[in-house]
């Protein structure tokens, strides 16, 4: 099985062609780290949390993690 990177537009074209020829295309979602690196966002230093913010995030969970990933995927797919 071959692995390639394609844009969302290219993926639609590939899926359409595969479907017409009886083929199947599978897609592996890129990780947050992979998308950040490809967009150049990995070079941006995140803000530091206070000890209290850290404690709350550990106790209650990171309420922004899912939102951040969703927004990042939308940005990644537009690029």
CB atoms within 10 A of CB 17: 11
Percent of the chain past pLDDT 90, that is, above it, reads: 15
pLDDT bucket at 1, cuts 50 / 70 / 90: very low
Q: Is the dihedral of CA 20, 26, 29, 30 positive or negative?
A: negative
What pLDDT shows up at residue 66?
A: 83
Q: How confident is the model at residue 60 (pLDDT cuts 50, 70, 90)?
A: confident
């Amino acid at each position: 099985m071959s692995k390639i990177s394609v844009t969302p537009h290219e993926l639609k074209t590939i899926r359409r062609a595969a479907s017409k020829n009886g083929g199947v295309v599978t897609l592996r979602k890129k990780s947050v780290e992979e998308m950040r690196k490809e967009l150049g966002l990995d070079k941006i230093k995140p803000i530091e949390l206070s000890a209290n913010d850290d404690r709350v995030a550990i106790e209650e969970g990171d309420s922004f993690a899912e939102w951040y990933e969703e927004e990042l995927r939308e940005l990644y797919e537009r690029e």
